[in-house]
A and B are shown apart, each in its own frame.
Chain A
Amino acid sequence: MNSLRDVVTLSVLFMSLYFEIFMLITYFEHRKKIRGISKSESSHHSSLPTVTVIVPCFNEENTVGRTLESIFALDYPREKLHIVAVNDGSKDGTMAVLESFKRFANFRVIDKENGGKHTALNLAISQCGTEFVGCLDADSYAKPDSLLRLIQRFDKPDIMAVVPSLHVYSPRTTIQKIQKVEYLIGAFMRSILAELNAMYVTPGPFSIFRREVFDKVGLYKKAHNTEDMEMAMRMQSKGLKIASAHDAVVFTSSPYNIRKLYRQRVRWTSGFLHNVRDYRYMLFNMNYGNIGMFVLPFMILSSFSIIFVIATIGYDLVNMLHAWYTRYQALGLSMFEFTWPSFNWFFMRTTPIMFCGLAAIAAVLIFIVIGSRMSSGNRAKVIEIVSYVCLYSFIAPWWVARSMYNVVFSRQLSWR
């Protein structure tokens, strides 16, 4: 422990471990309640409230048909379900696809000029008269029982919104398989954040709100192209409760290559950081409970620590290349001679940083296992978990760093 770098690394690991342990303790504290959610009795269809599901579309001709089919297949009384698709000035064949569903009585299409997702949602919300309203992104697909489970979670009058359990739709590439594991961790995290009253996002794919929420806090804002995060933070700032229904499964299309993933994540992370900046008065403010005192400050702190991680990886990489170069200068091509690898405990890395790192990875594995159990039928394969553990920490820092740059230099991003 003789260098500043080791001290900083150990501090970052301490912080991560603290967060993980806090999450696990919260899980075990509320385990019975969280597990009990999926066992709740199904409501009588006659007592179910009316719901409007809004599908905002911008150039979604390839996916919106399937999204709408998933909504029409929902196990929910037809007369209580209103579906509104908003064509936000698409330039492809989206409108034609929407027209083909007009045969359904409870389906309506609004065609408007392009103005952004928040304008599409606001137009539909302002026209809806149902008790509940939700949005399903046009690249996401709801499981038939999802809406029923989401509505069942509004079992207390103070619950104002419920978020579903999101999963990657049909993961094929390695990048999608990594995201599959990431989403399982997300499913676990959202259950815990809900228990802590610290949910900072009501995801576009199928978060359901009481209609009165929009009267109380206002409609969606552009919010740095992450209107779903801003809405959650605005609700939290007004003390409105957001719950989670981990048994309400919704699948969403995910980026299939690293470039698309990077773009998506830069948008999300930049949006998150911009929104936290807008709601900075919540930070370290006891009036806002766990989200103000713990969750948001931790997320900000971990973003800063990412810069340190990148610097460390870069430093190690330069050192490694330099060592190889020195070896090449000394031995020439002889350095490539094959020697049998031998195991000797003496040469194993056994620093405190390594042990703490292993503990942090172990906690992530526990998150994955619990997340998998919560989302029955979406369990991660060992190879997917290994890919996630090996690759994610090397790719995620880059979009966080880029997002921090965007926020510092106030760069706004477009959706696509």
Chain B
Amino acid sequence: MNINWRKYAVSFIFTAAIVITALLISSWIDSRRVDELRNIQDSISINLLSADMQFNLLKDAACGDLFNSAIGEELGNLSDKLSYMESIGKGGDPSVVTLKKYYSLLEIRDYLLSNSAASKCPKRPITILYFYRSDCPDCDRQGQVLTYLRQHHADILRVYSFDHGLDVSAVRTLANIYKVASPFPAVVIKGKTLNGFHSIEDIQKLLPELMATTTAATSTKK
């Protein structure tokens, strides 16, 4: 019986073309994702710089601007998107790692700014520092609790999350200041470092201010 080898070859070329196109489209969309992350970071960077300058120019009159929730929301948005990149296996991608480092630095900068303004501004957001590691079994649960709290108290709560395994000296210094060490997860609330998993109720007990306000949950994914 005769076999039409040409047809076998043509089918192979068509199939290979479809698979290569799929690989190219997917990689193009991934690069668009990294661009999007970069844009958000640039926007946060500009907003932070602007808030910093306003504060220095106007002193306490800029308290309102300094603690507007836009920066907090953008940081939360960036955090969600970086977690998503990690969840789809792009966490080790060099450009994503760089973006993650940059994000950590932006968080520290925002944290320092709010600390420096603390004495002058009567109303400032509550901050939680959260240190996690990719190999820690309870960190996923802790992350969910903090995302929930951040979404429900967007106007008064800022959660700064740091990958303890990330090679950024500023993150290491921050961890050293608060004596953050294993076991993870570790959260720093009102200057106190707590290790291990803490539920919504545990954190609400430590921060009774949260009980007074609740904002509608945003629909950002985690």
Contacts and interface: CB of A to CB of B under 8 A. Distances in A.
B23 A352 contact: yes
Contacts, number: 96
B15 A21 contact: yes
A197 B142 CA distance: 62
B8 A331 contact: no
Contacts of A331: 144-145, 148, 200
Nearest to A350: B29
Interface in A304-357: 326-327, 329-332, 334, 337, 339-342, 344, 346-347, 349-352, 354-356
A239 B1 contact: yes
A289 interface: yes
A22 B25 contact: no
B18 A286 contact: no
Contacts of A355: 21-22, 25-26
Contact of B25 (A18, A332, A350): A350
B142 A330 contact: yes
B109 interface: no
A302 to B, nearest CB: 15
Nearest to A341: B219
Interface string B6-43: 01101110110011011101100110010010000000
Contacts of A289: 1-3
A340 B219 contact: yes
A13 B23 CA distance: 13
A94 to B, nearest CB: 42
A10 interface: yes
B84 to A, nearest CB: 6
A2 interface: yes
Contacts of B2: 289
B191 to A, nearest CB: 25
Contacts of A334: 148, 200
Nearest to A357: B22
- The interface centre, meaning the residue of B1, B21, B144 with most chain A CB atoms within 10 A of its CB, is B1
Interface in A21-45: 21-22, 25-26, 29
A3 interface: yes
A130 interface: no
A359 B3 contact: no
- The interface centre, meaning the residue of B15, B26, B148 with most chain A CB atoms within 10 A of its CB, is B15
A330 B202 CA distance: 11
A139 B141 CA distance: 57
B26 A352 contact: yes
A14 B8 contact: no
A351 B148 CA distance: 28
B140 interface: yes
Contacts of A3: 89
Given A25-B7, A346-B36, A356 B1 contact: no
Contacts of A332: 199-200
Interface of A: 1-3, 10, 13-14, 17-18, 21-22, 25-26, 29, 197, 239, 286-290, 293-294, 326-327, 329-332, 334, 337, 339-342, 344, 346-347, 349-352, 354-356, 359
Given A332-B199, A339-B218, A351-B26, 7 more contacts: A21-B14, A25-B7, A290-B3, A326-B141, A330-B140, A330-B199, A351-B88
22 contacts: A1-B23, A14-B19, A17-B15, A22-B8, A286-B3, A289-B1, A289-B2, A293-B3, A294-B8, A326-B141, A330-B141, A330-B145, A330-B148, A330-B199, A331-B145, A342-B220, A346-B33, A347-B84, A347-B221, A351-B26, A352-B19, A355-B21
